[in-house]
Amino acid sequence: MRRLATVAVVALALASCGASPQGVERLSPGAGSAEASDAQGRSVRRRLADARSDPFLAELEARTFRYFWELANPANGLVPDRWPDGALPNFASIAAVGFGLTAYPIGVERGFVSRADARERVLATLRFFANAPQGPEAMGRTGYRGFFYHFLDSNTGTRYGSDVELSTIDTALLLAGALACQSYFDGADPAEAEIRSLADTLYRAADWNFMQPRAPLVCMGWYPDRGLHDHDWRGYDEAMILYILALGSPTHPASPDASAWTAFTSTYVWASWYGQEYVAFPPLFGHQYTQVWLDGRGIQDAYMRGKGIDYFENSRRAAYAQRAYAIANPAAWAGYDADSWGVTACDGPADVTLVYHGSARRFWTYAGRGAGATFMLDDGTIAPTGAVASLPFAPEIAVAAVKAMRDRWGDDLYSTYGFFDAFNPSFTFAGKATAGRVAPGKGWFDTDYLGLDQGPIVAMIENFRSGFVWELMKKNPYVVSGLRRAGFSGGWLDAAP
């Protein structure tokens, strides 16, 4: 039986920092916003319903889901980091596995796969990680101290190469997916009981204290030959989910109180950029990853209580700022406008400096691209995931962008598993691209899909359409405990058991 959660219809809200730019009427809620008139409210509800049932979003969600369903190794659940690039064969990402685990319940609810088939895939995945070899040895191991290597060989399931780290953030994303399955597969069937038990075992095994050489912060990882990483997770970024899960652990919590979270938030940078005030993190993925799983509406930690907003509103402002940046287009990149935006970590055409519009411009292959107050790394490359994963925060600008990218660039950008990872209309240099391809008169287009970007696409489309993943995680006691230990309160969290 379909069990998609029903999300209360949001009322039209006025931006707490002023009217929405470019005359766009905002459909997403913001902290402290005013109630719209009944007529306006009905109009907003109608347009939101139309957007949520848009056939293209449904098709995009289905295509993107198939990336995980069709490409994962069915024997162990390992998901390729990218596809179809043959330069790195048998190359799996544990973060992509976490997104895949999150996608499988969505697939059941949307009728893409049966519950029995999804259950079988999840069991294969969790059994593999629960039984995988752990230890301090440099090779032949999948993890150590309850954490897992960032990249694994898709067939053997062991560390991929001698320079791959035992990753705290990628393990956190994997565990988030496992906990989503723990909450979803809640039936009496013995297989579903095993899923819940395996997810519990994996989550409890992570030794967060081991990863705190400079407590209360958590470091980025560990290497067998070099030991613990010399950098910690600090400032606003994708590590929000890491700290919440680390704090929620009943066995090895990062700290017994909010000190880890307080240390993390103490290095936030609050800034004004392109008409929006928000906690800065220039790549859009940092505003999206945690809220793939956690509904940020109405819950606040001490930092956000001081600012009078929540993290959902912060992400909305980041999306609006990037759109305003694309409209202004100070670097005069081709293709940037109100419906073509999204600077975030993604693939790119080449690591090269070329002359564009009379000046030397630096281009990159894969890079942590971002546009914001604290740094700029923008070479004209746009990642569709930037706009798609912003759908829950700002549908009034994101829906148009998602559909415009498909309409403008067609099959050069959109194919079997939805959007290719990235494109760059400014890179028209024939023979200079070292990845993807240059289409004459159109620019550069990736020919790969990346699991890290596919995951937020399928999950955030579903969160926009139904709030499904958010509702799953609200039932998970570990997530609720982690949020409360971090000092969050308000909204749905106050009513959680």
Question: What CATH number has the domain bearing residue 150?
Answer: 1.50.10.140
Contacts of 151 (CB under 8 A, 6+ apart): 81, 91, 92, 93, 94, 159, 160, 161, 164
In a domain, 445, yes or no: no
In a domain, 247, yes or no: yes
User: Rounded to an integer, what distance in angstroms lies between the CA atom of residue 264 and that of residue 290?
Assistant: 15
Of 16-25, 246-255, 306-315, 351-360, the range with the lowest mean pLDDT is: 16-25
Query: What is the pLDDT, as a whole number, of residue 128?
Result: 98
In a domain, 300, yes or no: no
- pLDDT per position as a tens digit, 61-86: 999 999 999 999 999 999 999 999 86
Question: Is cis: bond before 216, omega within 30 of 0?
Answer: yes
Query: What is the pLDDT, as a whole number, of residue 256?
Result: 72
pLDDT top residue among 355 and 35: 355
What confidence category does residue 43 fall into, taking pLDDT thresholds of 50, 70 and 90?
confident
What confidence category does residue 44 fall into, taking pLDDT thresholds of 50, 70 and 90?
confident
User: Rounded to an integer, what distance in angstroms lies between the CA atom of residue 122 and that of residue 222?
Assistant: 27
In a domain, 314, yes or no: no
CA-based nearest residue to 192, from 177, 179, 182, 204: 182
- What angle do helix axes 190-205 and 168-184 make, rounded to 10 degrees? 150
CA-based nearest residue to 158, from 72, 94, 85: 94
User: Rounded to an integer, what distance in angstroms lies between the CA atom of residue 199 and that of residue 205?
Assistant: 10
Secondary structure class of 165 (helix, strand, coil): coil
Of 16-30, 170-184, 324-338, the range with the lowest mean pLDDT is: 16-30
pLDDT tops 70 at residue 248: yes
Query: What is the pLDDT, as a whole number, of residue 27?
Result: 63
What confidence category does residue 255 fall into, taking pLDDT thresholds of 50, 70 and 90?
confident
59 — alpha (psi -120 to 50), left (phi > 0) or beta?
alpha
Q: What is the count of structural domains for the chain?
A: 1
Query: What is the pLDDT, as a whole number, of residue 202?
Result: 98
Query: What is the pLDDT, as a whole number, of residue 32?
Result: 44
pLDDT top residue among 469 and 90: 469
- What angle do helix axes 240-248 and 477-485 make, rounded to 10 degrees? 100
User: For residue 217, what are the domain limits?
Assistant: 74-255
In a domain, 347, yes or no: no
In a domain, 88, yes or no: yes
pLDDT tops 80 at residue 481: yes
CA-based nearest residue to 10, from 290, 287, 297, 277: 297
Mean pLDDT of the chain: 92
Rg (CA), the chain: 21
DSSP state of 152: E
- pLDDT per position as a tens digit, 302-354: 999 999 999 999 999 999 999 999 999 999 999 999 999 999 999 999 999 99
Question: Is cis: bond before 84, omega within 30 of 0?
Answer: yes
Asked whether 282 and 343 are in contact (CB, 8 A), the reply is: yes
**Average confidence (pLDDT) over 209-233:** 97
In a domain, 341, yes or no: no
- pLDDT per position as a tens digit, 279-313: 999 999 999 999 999 999 999 999 999 999 999 99
In a domain, 414, yes or no: no
Query: What is the pLDDT, as a whole number, of residue 47?
Result: 82
pLDDT tops 90 at residue 15: no
**Average confidence (pLDDT) over 94-100:** 98
191 vs 70, 185, 197, CA distance in Å? Answer: 22, 9, 10
Query: What is the pLDDT, as a whole number, of residue 299?
Result: 98
